[in-house]
Structure 1
């Protein structure tokens, strides 16, 4: 179970809508299974099929999480035109252990769908999201 404050999840969906038709990305920090902060990142690939976070922004976000006594809980990105499930590339590039991967699908832009997964050694496991 991943607990995400409603305002943080809404902000991620808004970021995805504003970034459409490109993928957007970012990180979330917190403790245990409860998200407390969001760090939107620049997709340096500027692509609608994949993302690459700006390393300087990533470093700053991790530093801010440490200062707030948080750990990285979530790596998120959007799928502008495909379902909220990890692509083969998402699975292949999921190299950060012990984080959830949140995917926001804008396949139907009127009804965005957000789903979370744990990905380890190529194995994908769905994670329930509770908005708080």
Structure 2
């Protein structure tokens, strides 16, 4: 969290593109320790992935914050996006109130996905 980017995983009952719905938000440590990028701590990510699998859930989304920029993926975010079945959810703290947007990133192709809150 502040002053660094926050990051973590969002679990779901299926992937978003399959109609899945989010279930849990799992905040995880930012190993990059930076306000400009995130790197989910490898050990914490492995433990979370084992827990997700053990519960029969999937990684519905990967979230992180942008401390001083818009809720859109940076070139770095796009280059490091290696989970094409998961949404990338970005929260911008640069606006008041903070903005949250979700993105599908597949092989460098970026498309915004509208979120519906029930």
TM-score under structure 1 length normalisation: 0.82
Deviation at 1:21, TM superposition (A): 2.2
How far residue 97 of structure 1 moved from its aligned partner, in angstroms, is 2.0
Q: Which runs of 4+ in 1 moved over 6 A?
A: none
Structure 2 unaligned blocks of 5 or more: 15-19
SS at match of 1:38: strand
RMSD: 0.9
Please give the secondary structure, in 2, of the residue aligned with 1:130: coil
Structure 1: which 5+ runs fail to align? 1-18
TM-score, normalised relative to structure 2: 0.91
Question: What is aligned with 1:87?
Answer: 74
Partners of 1:52 and 1:34 in 2: CA distance: 25
Aligned match for 2:111, one of 125, 128, 131: 125
Which gives a bigger RCO, structure 1 or 2 (Cα 8 Å, sep 6+)?
Answer: 1
- 1:75-127 CA-to-partner distances (Å, cap 9, x unmatched) read 0000000000000000000011211000000002x301000000011110111
